[in-house]
Amino acid sequence: MARYIFRRILQFIPVLIAISLFTFVLMQAIPGGPFDFAGDRSLPPTIVANLEAKYHLDWPMWKQYLSYMIGDDILGEEGGSRGVIRGDFGPSYHFRGQTVADIIKITLPVSAQLGFMSLLLAIIIGIPAGIIAALNQNSWIDYTTTFGAVMFVSIPNMVLAPILIWIFALILGWFPVAGWGAKPPYLLGFLPTALNKEFFSHAIMPVFALGTGSAAGIARLTRASLLQVIGEDYIRTARAKGLRERAVIVIHALKNSLIPVVTILGPAFAALLTGTFIVEQIFGINGMGKHFVTSVGNRDYQVITSVTLLYAVVLVIANLVVDITYAWLDPRIRYD
């Protein structure tokens, strides 16, 4: 297993290089540059030229890329970049004086909190809902759950979020309209220090907006999967042993039925990540997703490439965790 994980990580290095190169080139191909505007006003060309020279944007693109990835000293050039490989993601062009690392340190914990809670919500609502629906197949419980699942799968979060704000913040006034209830410093670098009312009242709507789609998808898959498993021969064997129905379901059906559910957690996680772009924007949450979108508008090249790389790493780790869980659930799967 350790060898498998190691190999997966090695395989991922060329993928990361491709992603960084692709993002880097694509960003620079977009018309406009990071120094076109200061606030609402456009800057005089001489100042723009100076700034571009300062950040080496006048270098040929291959050199800029190598400077970003491996550092200036290896290139034999003057300049401060130590390269991504040594943990230097460079400065932000837009927020001058801040490095990309500074920005990530502030925004990543917020997004991680939002994303993790949404994933948790998706799992702890989705799986039980699917199980309950399957065990009460064709009853009103099943129909209600299935109807709810279809509804929430079909409502995109950019529609759900404003509806939630309108009802629960504006009409009922239960929750604040926007913002996030945890501030730095964070526990272990990403956990909120206090799980208080302030935190949850801010979190509840964005987490709901982000997580319900996945919860609904997981519920539908769990239901279908459990129904299929209940029809399997080995379930009849379990009943023929004289086991109670509860033991038949819990011991013999559940684990089998979760195997396909685990395999969609990878894509579900990716959906949550991209969902943060929208949800953080709508709820005005200062997370990485919102910052990422803003950075595209600002042509903040280093931020965009670095955050893209970070997303890629997170997704790969998530998929690795999924694969390991999968092997743990299904003894027929062995990696080596």
Q: Classify residue 30 by its DSSP letter.
A: S
According to CB under 8 A, which one of 8, 77, 239, 315 is a site residue for another protein? 239
Q: In sequence order, which ranges of 174-253 are alpha helices (DSSP H)?
A: 197-230, 233-240, 245-247
Tokens of 1: 């297993």
Q: Which helix (H) or strand (E) holds 163?
A: helix 157-164
Site for another protein in 301-330 (CB under 8 A): 329-330
Applying CB under 8 A, does 234 fall inside the site for another protein?
yes
Mark 256-275 with x for binding to another protein (rule: CB under 8 A) and - for no binding.
Answer: x--x----------------
Applying CB under 8 A, does 139 fall inside the site for another protein?
no
- Spell 91-107 as b/e; 16+ CB within 10 A means b: bbbbbeeebbeebbebb
Tokens of 89: 């993601």
| Secondary structure (3-state) at 186 | coil
According to CB under 8 A, which one of 7, 54, 86, 241 is a site residue for another protein? 241
Applying CB under 8 A, does 1 fall inside the site for another protein?
no
Name the residue nearer to another protein (CB basis): 86 or 236: 236
Tokens of 155: 């409502």
Site for another protein in 140-159 (CB under 8 A): none
Residue 71 zone, left/alpha/beta (φ > 0; ψ -120 to 50; rest): left
Number of residues in contact with another protein under rule CB under 8 A: 21
- Spell 201-237 as b/e; 16+ CB within 10 A means b: ebbbbbbbbbbbbbbbbbbbbbbbbbbebbeeeebee
Name the residue nearer to another protein (CB basis): 86 or 255: 255
Applying CB under 8 A, does 332 fall inside the site for another protein?
yes
Applying CB under 8 A, does 222 fall inside the site for another protein?
no
Tokens of 265: 């957690």
Applying CB under 8 A, does 242 fall inside the site for another protein?
yes
Residue 218's identity, in one-letter code, is I
User: Smallest distance, Å, CB 66 to another protein?
Assistant: 50
CA gap 55, 255 in Å, rounded: 55
Applying CB under 8 A, does 76 fall inside the site for another protein?
no
CB 89 within 8 A of CB 104: yes
The residue count of the chain comes to 336
Applying CB under 8 A, does 14 fall inside the site for another protein?
no
Part of the chain binding another protein (CB under 8 A), chosen from 72-80, 92-100, 252-260, 264-272: 252-260
Name the residue nearer to another protein (CB basis): 35 or 326: 326
Burial of 74 (0-12, 13-18, 19+ CB in 10 A): middle
According to CB under 8 A, which one of 30, 195, 250, 251 is a site residue for another protein? 251
| Secondary structure (3-state) at 285 | coil
Applying CB under 8 A, does 237 fall inside the site for another protein?
yes
Applying CB under 8 A, does 335 fall inside the site for another protein?
no
According to CB under 8 A, which one of 9, 30, 236, 250 is a site residue for another protein? 236
| Secondary structure (3-state) at 42 | strand
Name the residue nearer to another protein (CB basis): 162 or 260: 260
Applying CB under 8 A, does 56 fall inside the site for another protein?
no
Name the residue nearer to another protein (CB basis): 209 or 248: 248
User: What residues make contact with another protein under the rule CB under 8 A?
Assistant: 232-234, 236-244, 251-252, 255-256, 259, 329-332
